[in-house]
Structure 1
Amino acid sequence: MSLNPAMLAIRFLLELVAIASFGIYGWRSFDSPWKFLLVVLLPLIAAALWGTFAVPGDPSRNGEAPVSVPGTVRLVLELVVLFGGAAALWAASLPRWALISVIVLVIYQALAYDRIAWLLKA
């Protein structure tokens, strides 16, 4: 698996966008007082899932895994969080941003074929 710094930076930005998208959904889709709780809670849950479950030896994550999972589980988690962020934008009545997010994610996933192949083998 290549550790291209540009791809790692793009993936990090995509993670941040997805996590922020859950907060946007919480703020725009719920009434007070729930929106004040969900704008914080939803991104925290997404970030906790992202940071907790990892494949042992993943060089893009220091090789450490707080909770070890197989590569296929990690791949599904990544896809759920990243594309879930796009779905959150859609649900927050931001369809253009959701579509842009999906397009960027599909392009990224196509370019990250080596990581996907590694996760499927891990």
Structure 2
Amino acid sequence: MTDAQPAPPPKIGPNDLIRFLLEVFAIVSLGIFGFVAFDLPWPGLLIGIGAPLLAILLWALFRSPKAVFAVDPFVKALVEIAVFSSAAIAWWIMGQPVVAVVFAVVAAVSGIINGRKEFGD
């Protein structure tokens, strides 16, 4: 009989924290976009609730650390690009190009760092 070793806790680095904040910012951004850019109650309410829910669903199914589907890193990257670029485009459409560009650059750099880590394993 062997003693089972407990799994080591996952290492959470600075980029992991940045990525989490990017995810939250993207989801909130999509909600703001739906409520601000469209007439209420319809379609603003539908897009303001539906866009963040769709982003959360895509992230949970394909991109999260405990994703429902185990997919290739390229599929993970496509989902990440879709969610983050939609948030950046939303800020651009709302007339906030500085927010859009800063968010897109930070998301791209963080994604590259994370991608190098995933492919390095």
Same fold per TM (> 0.5)?
yes
Corresponding residue for 1:50? 59
Instruction: Pick which of 102-111 and 13-22 moved more.
Output: 102-111
Structure 2 unaligned blocks of 5 or more: 1-10
The residue type equivalent to 1:42 in the other structure is A
Corresponding residue for 2:21? 13
Q: How many residues align?
A: 111
Distance 1:115 1:91, change over 3 A: farther
The Cα RMSD (Å) is 2.3
Distance 2:68 2:96 in 1: 34
Distance 1:92 1:116, change over 3 A: farther
Q: Which has the higher contact order (CA 8 A, sep 6+)?
A: 1
Structure 2 length-normalised TM: 0.77
Instruction: Flag as ranges the 4+ runs of structure 1 deviating above 6 A.
Output: none
Q: Kindly indicate whether the alpha-carbon contact (under 8 Å) linking 1:75 and 1:116 is maintained by their aligned counterparts in 2.
A: no
Q: Offset of 1:117 from its aligned partner?
A: 2.8
Q: Offset of 1:18 from its aligned partner?
A: 1.0
Alignment of 1:1-122 (within 5 A): 3-33=11-41, 34-54=43-63, 61=65, 64-115=66-117, 117-118=119-120
Q: Offset of 1:77 from its aligned partner?
A: 0.6
Instruction: State the identity as a percent.
Output: 31
Structure 1 length-normalised TM: 0.77
The residue type equivalent to 1:52 in the other structure is L
Distance 1:113 1:52 in 2: 18
Structure 1 unaligned blocks of 5 or more: 55-59
Q: Offset of 1:113 from its aligned partner?
A: 4.5
